[in-house]
Amino acid sequence: MYKVFVNDKPLFLTNEIVKETDFQLFLLESIDIEQLIVKMFNGKIDKAYLYYPDEKEILKKLKEKIPVQKAGGGLVYNQNGDVLFIFRNGKWDLPKGGIEKNEEIEFTALREVQEETGVSKLKLGRKLQKTYHIFKRNGKYKLKVTHWFEMTTTFQGTPQPQAEEGIEKVAWLNPSQIQQALQNSYENIKLLFETEKLLE
């Protein structure tokens, strides 16, 4: 099962038909995806399931219905084990951004972290899970697929927020500060920490 967030509300892609309780179930094959997204953005639907029988094909089917934007981001640790966060649009987030033409996704992730935070000396670690969310740009809805990587750095300087990207501040947060920041973050970021068991 995949979780796609629409305005921070979960849209589950599933190959199991479950009896409805507090959510609505739609058939991925026949759904007007834009109508569903609009309803979720407007708060008319809080949680929905999209059903398609073949789990291996389910994401591909969704991608046929909505344009995809690929992004790369980093979960960056410094030498003290703190994690690099950015603060933008009133919420805590991790640095990430869209892929550029002919770019490898690993390079995208490294480039975006450095551009958004000013942190250099980044070393790429393991690939973490991907996250999915739907956003609106220029009147069109898109599915953003973010590839996350663990990174480490020996950077000692002061991080610099990329103001033109609307980033207000950059901070190194320790585990207890992360717990607090996640209360004012996005569901995708919380999911990343939960599934990777990063706050044990």
Please report the domains of the chain, with CATH numbers, ordered by start residue. 2-65 (no CATH), 68-195 (3.90.79.10)
| Residue 98 CA from chain centroid, whole number | 12
Res 17: pLDDT: 80
Model pLDDT, residue 29: 93
According to the model, what pLDDT value does residue 196 have?
A: 73
Tens of pLDDT along 28-76?
A: 999 999 999 999 999 999 999 999 999 999 999 999 999 999 999 999 9
Whole-number pLDDT of residue 121: 97
CB 84, CB 170: distance < 8 Å: yes
What is the model's pLDDT at position 199? 60
pTM here? Answer: 0.91
Distances in Å between the Cα of 14 and the Cα atoms of 10, 116, 144, 187 are 12, 35, 19, 19
The pLDDT value given to residue 181: 96
Q: Which parts of the chain have pLDDT scores under 50?
A: none
pLDDT at residue number 59: 94
Q: 116 exposed, middle or buried (CB, 10 Å; 0-12, 13-18, 19+)?
A: buried
